[in-house]
């Protein structure tokens, strides 16, 4: 079982990946709302990575 810091470090990358997937879905379906959700997930991932970097220092 992975320790808690490893999971927290990787969660930002999962948010970014899901944002990219929403972007692809928006492109395929031509739905504007999916772009907004994708951008939101990418921003959440970047904030998560930034916060984890400062916590681990």
| pLDDT score recorded for residue 1 | 47
Residues 29 and 35: their CA atoms lie apart, in Å, by 11
Could you state, in order of their start, the residue ranges of all structural domains in the chain? 7-56
In whole angstroms, give the CA distance from residue 9 to residue 49: 7
Q: What pLDDT does 21 receive?
A: 93
Segments of the chain with pLDDT less than 50: 1
Q: What pLDDT was estimated at residue 27? A: 92
Provide the pLDDT for residue 16: 92
Helix or strand run (H / E) with residue 53: helix 32-56
Closest to 56 in 3D by CA, of 3, 18, 1 = 3
Burial letters 1-29, b for 16+ CB under 10 A, else e: eeeeeeeebeebeebbebbeebbeebeee
């Amino acid at each position: 079982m992975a320790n808690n810091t490893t999971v927290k470090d990787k969660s930002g990358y999962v948010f970014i990946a899901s944002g990219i997937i929403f972007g692809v879905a928006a492109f395929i379906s031509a739905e504007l709302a999916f772009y907004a959700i994708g951008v939101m997930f990418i921003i959440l991932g970047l904030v998560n990575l930034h916060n984890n970097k400062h916590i681990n220092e």
